[in-house]
Every structure is written in C-alpha cells, then in structure tokens.
Structure 1
C-alpha cells in the first residue's frame, strides 16, 4: 500500500521550472542543491547552469547555485535531507573525541553543545552567529580537525578490513566443515566395506574381534579430530582476544567554543650532551671516580709532604686520566670524514673556473 502510494506520488512530481511531469516523462530525473533544496529536473539544471553559476529559478529564491552542487535526493522528506546535510557538516568540524576531554562530563557537555548548534541551524535560529562561530573554530583548530578526520578514516578502513576478514574466515570454516564431513563420511563408508569384507573372509569366531578392532579405529579417528578442532578453536580465540592497536590522541587546549579539553603538555627539549659534564671533575655519567687506585708510582707521592704542601691532589690526576681514557669512545672519525666529504661533494661548483681550480687543488694535494 505504501509502495503504491509512493509510486503514484513520484508519477505526480512536477518540475517547478518547466512544469514537466514524471507522469508524462517516466525517465525524468529530479535533482536538488544543498544551497536552497529546491527540486528541479535534470534537463533544467543542464539548461540553466551549464554556462556557469546562476540564481535559483524558483520564485522567491535568490540563492546563487552551481551545477556541480546538484545531486539526487536521498530522503523523501526534504527537511530530513537538509537536517542530515547540516548534521554531517557540523560533525565534520566539531569532531572532538572522548579521549581529548578531561572527564566524561566535559565530553557530554560537548555533545550537548554540538546538538544545540545543529538544532539552531536546522531551525534557522541565529544562523549568522552560529555560522560565524563554526568558521572561527574551524580556522583556529584546522590541525586537530584534520587529525581526527584521519583517525576516523583509519578506523572505518580497519573496521571494513576486520569485517572482510571475519567473512573470509567464516567462509573458510564452512568449507573446512564440508570437507571434514565428506572425509568422515568416506571413512565410515570405507570402514563398513572393510568390516564386511573381513567378516566375509573370516570365521564366525573372528566376528567379535573384528568388531572391537573397527570400534577402536573409529574412536581414535574421532579423538584426533576433536583434538584438532579444539586446537583451532583455541587459536582463533587467542587471535580474537588480542588488544586492538590504540589510535593516537591529539590533545589540545580549550578553545573559544569547546570547553573541558585536556591541556597540551609540551615535552621539554632535550639538552645537548656535554661530554665534559661541566667543570665538576667528580660528576661524570660514564665512570665513577674512586678515592684511590693501586699504583706503585703514585704511592710514593700519596703521603709525600713536599708534594702535598703545594696543594697537589691525586684525585684531580685520577679525574683527568679517566676523562682522557673515555673521551673518544663515542667518536667515530672515519664516519665523520665520510659525511664531511659527502657534504662537500653535494655542493655544486658555481663556475667553470672554480671547478678547474678545485680540480687543480685536489691534484696538488694528492701529489
């Protein structure tokens, strides 16, 4: 009944521009433009907007329309069509995620605020003010909007890939079950034929032994089959229980429109490594300075009053010696020379005369 009413309503559709009816032209195709949502036939769209942007031909509408914006209507009610378009556009801009908020309450407030903006645009309440707020937010948070859109696309792609994988696994399981059933049926049939053949060729006293032997063979096969099924089932359960890879969350500070976002914590820049660790001789991270070291040569000066009276300290000697011993551990001279030569070779020579001079200097140095 509803389908018949819809078909009759489609037949009665009339283009507001050329007054053509679908009843007289069943192949007529109607299009709408999101600027004003006025419906008109495809031939009128081609005739009016092929040469460039033009005003809407519907009486009372002064919106400027472009041909590339026309599309087929998805929903029967044009108000639903307009609300869906507004909701999609607003949610592409206000696409904050729950992980970006400090608390669940802040995220709920954000969702409520987004619904209020959608309701204002759908109900045509403070449209200019609301559009200005959206444009300002979009211009100030373009990086986070694009990052969240990328995350949504990755999640959608991952979800589709997971669905395809599950469907493929289900198909493989069905195929394996059919093959297993066929193999089991053939084994049972072959066992029955072998049992009958052995009974026909044996004596009456061998019937019970043949029957017990055949029953043992069937039990062994069924036990092995159940063990294999349990192993496959456990493997599939382990794969399903693996945690999904978490998507990165880009935190941002509060904006003028959205409140309750997490604060951005900028990591402190890594300080350049100082191999000398300042001028404090006892504060090195690659060796520990001991009080004394066994040395026959130094033992003569350790308690020598004439040496100690001038303020000489053996610990300073220990520190300087260890520093010199460890100073070149992280220095690779051959690699530094190779990088230096490559950097020099990558720089173009400005003029031909400079190239000749460079060649001559290289020849002289080699000789």
Structure 2
C-alpha cells in the first residue's frame, strides 16, 4: 500500500484490511517501507526475522553438534512452512507454545545477541580509530623526516658556505652520518611505541571484548519442539559453614551429662568452698568418669579384626603367650 493510503485508512486507529477477502485487522505502526522490490522476499525476511527471534538457541546449549544441526534444519522447515503456507495453523501454535514455555531462555539469548552486537560495534570502532591513528602517525613520520632532511641540508649548506673549500667532503659525510643516526634513533623509538600500543590494544580487547556465555540461561530441556538440549543442572546451595565438621560439642552417643549425681563422697565437696575457690568443677569430674566408663561400647574387636584381615574371626582372640600358658596349666592339672 502507498503511504497516503496508509495514512488515510489507519490514522484513526486499527482498521480491517482493504483487500477483498482479507479479514485481518491492521495497524499503522506495523507498516514500514519496502526494502526489496519483490514482495515475496520482503515477506520471507519478516517471517525469518520473527521465527529466529523465538528459536534463538545457541550451539553451546546442545549436547552434540548433530543435535544443533537438527535444530537448524527444523528452524528452516518452520520458516519454509510459514512462507509457502504449509500447516500454518499448527506451526504457529507450536511456535507460540514454545515461546511461552521458554520465555526466560529466549530473553537471555536475545540479551546475549545484543551484547555480541554491541561488542562487535565497539571492536569495529576501535579498529577504525586505530587505523586513523596509524595513518596520522605515518603522515607525521613523513613530515618529520622531510623536515629533518631539509634542516640537515640547510645545515650542511651553511657550514659549506662558512668553511674552506677542502672541508666540503668531510662536512658532507658528517651531515649524512648525523641524518642516518637521527633516522635510526627515530625508527627504534617508533618501533618501541608500536609494540607498546599493540600490547595495550590486546589487553583492551581481552578485557572489553570478552566472549559472552550462556551462564544463567534456564529453560526446560527437550521442551517438545526443540530436541537435544543439555540437561540443566541446578547448583546445590552451599551449606552453612561448620567449624567443627559436624561434630557437636558436649554431645555423647551413650549418655547425657547431668548437672548433679548423688554421691556421699562428692556431696561434701560441692559444699566445700576451699575446693571450689581454686576453680574446681565437679562437671569436669563427671564428664571424664562417664567418658571412661562408656569408652569401649562402640568398639567391636571381632568385626575390626575381620575387616583388617589381621586375624581370623572364627578363632578366639588370644595371644601366643596366653595359649602357651593355658596349655601348660592344663598339662599340670592332668598330672595332679
């Protein structure tokens, strides 16, 4: 449609399409200037742009390269169906369902694409600025060389005019040597500056033009339309820091320490200020006594020896000396 017809029909708001048989509602904001001469190419570009904004999965999101290639082929088939009018209703339904189920991953990938575009533009601007600086440096270098050459020639001419006729050759050689020395020093300094600029340029590119990653992208793997996505692993939150490594202070498995135990021997000490004045605490005595009493309840020698393999669990646990003493005592008993 021409621009005047668009202004005339849709300036007051949305209106039905004026084409006979088309019942779509159109809006003025959706119209834009035609870029390609063929309207079919223009329509395919619009469809391709819309589909690729929804199906914008990246290669690093797939488990294999084959899965990513299958995704690209599937996306091209969807575009072809919409362009040629094949199963349009089903294709649009699948696209809308996929867009609703994977909204977070779509937005994340769009943000990454925008970041990549910004990074590329910054890199292009940086390269253009560096090319301009190199051209400016080359022009300045040419001007400096020409100025030094003219100054050297004028110095040689002035010295020749003021000197004797026999000194002409020596003055010319000296002037040539001075020019060569200056040119060599200038070239070495310029080479050092170029190397320094190259190092700085590389560090800036590594720092400011870092490749974006897909960290933080979430979504349902194999969400019905796209297959072969990597499984999303939700990181396990870190547990609170435990300085004792799970050990609970003053916790015992076989007993609970009480504040007081009745005892005819300890009760007088509890009331004796001479014993308590130096810091003596009966709880320490209770804790040590109970710990020694229950210390061996968790030790099972037969199981530990059988697991270590040092002794056979079916045989009685006895030392060689005990066995010999038992045999000797048994022999003496039989003689008696």
Which residue among 3, 11, 26 is the counterpart of 1:50? 11
Q: Which has the larger radius of gyration?
A: 2
TM-superposed deviation, 1:204: 3.0
Q: CA RMSD in A?
A: 2.6
Q: Give the equivalent residue in structure 2 for 1:187.
A: 148
Q: Give the equivalent residue in structure 2 for 1:267.
A: 235
Instruction: Provide, for residues 224-283 of structure 1, a one-character-per-residue CA deviation record: whole Å limited to 9, x for no partner.
Output: 22212322332344334854412121365221111111111111111112344333669x
Q: Give the equivalent residue in structure 2 for 1:67.
A: 28
| Partner Cα distance (2:288, 2:76) in 1 | 85
| Partner Cα distance (1:219, 1:50) in 2 | 76
Q: Give the equivalent residue in structure 2 for 1:171.
A: 132
Tell me if the contact between 2:14 and 2:27 (Cα under 8 Å) persists in the aligned partners: yes
TM-superposed deviation, 1:108: 1.0
TM-superposed deviation, 1:215: 2.0
After TM superposition, the structure 1 = structure 2 runs for residues 218-237 of structure 1, keeping only pairs within 5 Å, are: 218-237=179-198
The 3-state SS of whatever aligns with 1:266 is: coil
TM-superposed deviation, 1:122: 0.3
The 3-state SS of whatever aligns with 2:146 is: helix
Query: Higher mean Cα deviation, 106-115 or 53-62?
Result: 53-62
Which residue among 241, 245, 259 is the counterpart of 2:210? 245
After TM superposition, the structure 1 = structure 2 runs for residues 84-123 of structure 1, keeping only pairs within 5 Å, are: 84-123=45-84
Tell me if the contact between 2:104 and 2:218 (Cα under 8 Å) persists in the aligned partners: no
TM-superposed deviation, 1:128: 0.4
* 5+ residue gaps, structure 2: 251-284, 296-336
| Partner Cα distance (2:289, 2:17) in 1 | 101
User: Relative to 1, partners in 2 of residues 1:132 and 1:209: Cα closer, same or farther, differing over 3 Å?
Assistant: same
* 5+ residue gaps, structure 1: 1-39, 283-305, 317-367
Instruction: Provide, for residues 43-89 of structure 1, a one-character-per-residue CA deviation record: whole Å limited to 9, x for no partner.
Output: 32222222322221122222211222122211110000000000000
Instruction: Provide, for residues 7-56 of structure 1, a one-character-per-residue CA deviation record: whole Å limited to 9, x for no partner.
Output: xxxxxxxxxxxxxxxxxxxxxxxxxxxxxxxxx22232222222322221
TM-superposed deviation, 1:118: 0.2
TM-score under structure 2 length normalisation: 0.69
TM-superposed deviation, 1:193: 0.7
| Partner Cα distance (1:251, 1:66) in 2 | 35
User: Relative to 1, partners in 2 of residues 1:220 and 1:130: Cα closer, same or farther, differing over 3 Å?
Assistant: same
| Partner Cα distance (2:109, 2:163) in 1 | 79
TM-score under structure 1 length normalisation: 0.63
Query: Higher mean Cα deviation, 42-51 or 114-123?
Result: 42-51
User: Relative to 1, partners in 2 of residues 1:193 and 1:264: Cα closer, same or farther, differing over 3 Å?
Assistant: same
Q: Give the equivalent residue in structure 1 for 2:112.
A: 151
Q: Give the equivalent residue in structure 2 for 1:358.
A: none
Q: How many residues align?
A: 252
| Partner Cα distance (2:288, 2:7) in 1 | 106
| Partner Cα distance (2:111, 2:287) in 1 | 71
Tell me if the contact between 2:36 and 2:42 (Cα under 8 Å) persists in the aligned partners: yes
The 3-state SS of whatever aligns with 1:113 is: helix
User: Relative to 1, partners in 2 of residues 1:169 and 1:309: Cα closer, same or farther, differing over 3 Å?
Assistant: closer
| Partner Cα distance (1:281, 1:267) in 2 | 31
| Partner Cα distance (2:240, 2:288) in 1 | 40
Query: Higher mean Cα deviation, 189-198 or 166-175?
Result: 166-175
TM-superposed deviation, 1:310: 4.0
